[in-house]
Amino acid sequence: MKHEPVAAAEPRYIKLNPRDNVAIVVNDFGLPAGTKFPDGLELKSFVPQGHKTALVDIDQGAPIVRYGEVIGTATSPIKAGEWVDEARIEMPEAPALDKLEIATVVPAPLPPLEGYTFEGYRNADGSVGTKNVLGISTSVQCVSGTLEFAIKRIKSELLPKYPNVDDVVGLTHAYGCGVAITAPDAVVPIRTLQNLALNPNFGGEILVVGLGCEKLAPERLVPEGVDNAIVRMQDEAFDGFGAIVESIMEAADRRLAQLNKRRRETCPASDLVIGLQCGGSDAFSGVTANPAVGFAADLLVQAGATVMFSEVTEVRDAIQLLTRRAINEEVGRALVREMAWYDAYLARGGADRSANTTPGNKKGGLANIVEKALGSIVKSGSTLITGVLAPGERAKQKGMLFAATPASDFICGTLQLASGMTLQVFTTGRGTPYGLAAAPVIKVATRSELARRWKDLIDFDAGRIATGEMTIEETGWELFNLILDVASGRTKPWSDRWGIHNDLTLFNPAPVT
């Protein structure tokens, strides 16, 4: 069913849940005092786009409700039609982790969605890539400059010989030496590096460039049964830098020849591993982009795919809504375990969850982390949660998984790649040029104004939901089809067209020495 687009000038707000006592202003650039909405509500002050106005009078200390949930209490009496900015909202405590309902509202599985396919690169281990990339691992930061030097030559001298290979990517990072390698939390960066090399987009071709004296032995990044996968700079057989670079080039050449044999073949949508993330969120994130992504995520789950959502500090304040959806007690407990681990991690650093919201979030109308979290978890759709991954663990299950990561865009992206993600859907309200070299990223704007202004950076405009141009269902289907197109290489997202990609960033919660 098509909805008639509303005229741009008509004042419009969005109320999401019948229990809500605030709504957000839709119109570009906001609305002035005196604006009358069709239902008779009159603004008593200017309200910027995406910010909240009170729908009724709210007493001091009374709950402020959005998404049907309490996002805080009023710090002073608020009149209907006033701007409810962050200063007028007192943030509630985070839900206690020992009192959560687990697996009490497990959604029934949705009917299977059959017949949807994409053109992917099937690997020997059964996984399927969406790109054909040579990923070269490093065991320590010391070798990064050398590898970058070699990759420049590989790209200009070797890559042209192998037209079926998309790219060569150095998996560089700041880990490997000068770190407490036996500390319990060192498992996170080490596991991440091990699993990154196994990302399906790299086709199982393993090559590690190491130094020789580092704490993280390069052997630890080579899976069992793989031989001759290490170039060690301090190896006494190398007579100088030129010989080292030649050795990297030769090793790369052999692997490029193998990767060049890969061909796309028709694969069921169930072979997809999709990561979901947001960055630069605004108050529309939970109204347009995240609901569209959530609808597409439900379709992917129905088609049998693996989908992961992440960002612990952005789900922590809505965790009570997630543990109920866990498929069983074990998965629910794993969710609680990851929240508790992160609470302790933040406490150790003298921070808490309120450190998450950025100045841009607040300018975009998000008053606090509770409001941000309620909008963020909408990405996970409505299906049951079938699994939980600790940071950097590889996904083995199908369905909707929670992959525990920090909310930092680059760290979340890196950890999702380690978990086997082959395509990421990234929602943004404020706008970001984010991209990953290892996997395509579809950027979804929460507002049409951003999608228009950044027409050559944003791939999908979910703002059409706010203007009434399209429904959540229609945008969800359109996004689902775009995911299949991008996974097939038929459509290139903007970050790949420009070749703008963020650095990999490891999550190292362990001490540095």
Tell the smallest beta-carbon distance from residue 21 to Ca ion (Å): 29
487 binds Ca ion (CB under 5 A): no
Tell the smallest beta-carbon distance from residue 277 to Ca ion (Å): 5
Compare residues 299 and 312 and give the one whose CB is closer to Ca ion: 312
Tell the smallest beta-carbon distance from residue 376 to Ca ion (Å): 9
Strands (E), 41-192: 52-54, 63-66, 69-74, 83-84, 89-90, 117-122, 128-129, 133-138, 167-171
Compare residues 11 and 279 and give the one whose CB is closer to Ca ion: 279
Compare residues 424 and 508 and give the one whose CB is closer to Ca ion: 424
DSSP 499: T
Tell the smallest beta-carbon distance from residue 133 to Ca ion (Å): 23
Tell the smallest beta-carbon distance from residue 429 to Ca ion (Å): 12
Size of the site for Ca ion (CB under 5 A): 3
Nearest residue to 135 (alpha-carbon basis) of 162, 166, 164, 163: 166
Tell the smallest beta-carbon distance from residue 378 to Ca ion (Å): 15
Compare residues 166 and 338 and give the one whose CB is closer to Ca ion: 338
Q: Any idea which residue has 């020789």 for tokens?
A: 212
Compare residues 376 and 422 and give the one whose CB is closer to Ca ion: 376
Spatial separation of the C-alpha atoms in residues 320 and 95, rounded to whole Å: 7
Contact region with Ca ion (CB under 5 A), list: 72-80, 108-116, 276-284, 340-348: 276-284
Question: H or E element: which one contains 189?
Answer: helix 187-196
Spatial separation of the C-alpha atoms in residues 122 and 263, rounded to whole Å: 8
279 binds Ca ion (CB under 5 A): yes
Contact region with Ca ion (CB under 5 A), list: 31-39, 272-280, 348-356, 414-422: 272-280
Compare residues 91 and 312 and give the one whose CB is closer to Ca ion: 312
Spatial separation of the C-alpha atoms in residues 427 and 283, rounded to whole Å: 12
Tokens for 89, please give them: 């909202």
Instruction: Give the end-to-end CA distance of the chain in Å, rounded to a whole number.
Output: 61
Q: Any idea which residue has 């309902």 for tokens?
A: 101
Tell the smallest beta-carbon distance from residue 141 to Ca ion (Å): 24
Nearest residue to 501 (alpha-carbon basis) of 416, 437, 427, 420: 437
Contact region with Ca ion (CB under 5 A), list: 71-79, 275-283, 323-331, 334-342: 275-283
Contact region with Ca ion (CB under 5 A), list: 37-45, 82-90, 97-105, 273-281: 273-281
Tell the smallest beta-carbon distance from residue 294 to Ca ion (Å): 16
Tell the smallest beta-carbon distance from residue 264 to Ca ion (Å): 30
Tell the smallest beta-carbon distance from residue 364 to Ca ion (Å): 14
Compare residues 205 and 409 and give the one whose CB is closer to Ca ion: 409
Residues in 358-417 that interact with Ca ion by CB under 5 A: 407, 409
Tokens for 74, please give them: 């009023």
Tell the smallest beta-carbon distance from residue 124 to Ca ion (Å): 33
Show the CA angle centred on residue 406, arms to residues 403 and 409, nearest 5°. 100
Strands laid side by side in the 69-74 sheet: 63-66, 69-74, 89-90
Asked if 433 and 500 count as a contact pair (C-beta separation under 8 A), the reply is yes
Asked if 471 and 3 count as a contact pair (C-beta separation under 8 A), the reply is yes
Nearest residue to 466 (alpha-carbon basis) of 25, 17, 22, 9: 25
Compare residues 128 and 407 and give the one whose CB is closer to Ca ion: 407
Question: H or E element: which one contains 268?
Answer: strand 265-268
Spatial separation of the C-alpha atoms in residues 445 and 432, rounded to whole Å: 10
Asked if 431 and 446 count as a contact pair (C-beta separation under 8 A), the reply is no
Residues in 316-335 that interact with Ca ion by CB under 5 A: none
197 binds Ca ion (CB under 5 A): no
The contact pattern for Ca ion, residues 229-268, with x = CB under 5 A and - = no contact, is: ----------------------------------------
Compare residues 82 and 409 and give the one whose CB is closer to Ca ion: 409
Spatial separation of the C-alpha atoms in residues 130 and 172, rounded to whole Å: 21
Compare residues 129 and 279 and give the one whose CB is closer to Ca ion: 279
Compare residues 279 and 493 and give the one whose CB is closer to Ca ion: 279
Query: By the criterion CB under 5 A, which residues form the site for Ca ion?
Result: 279, 407, 409
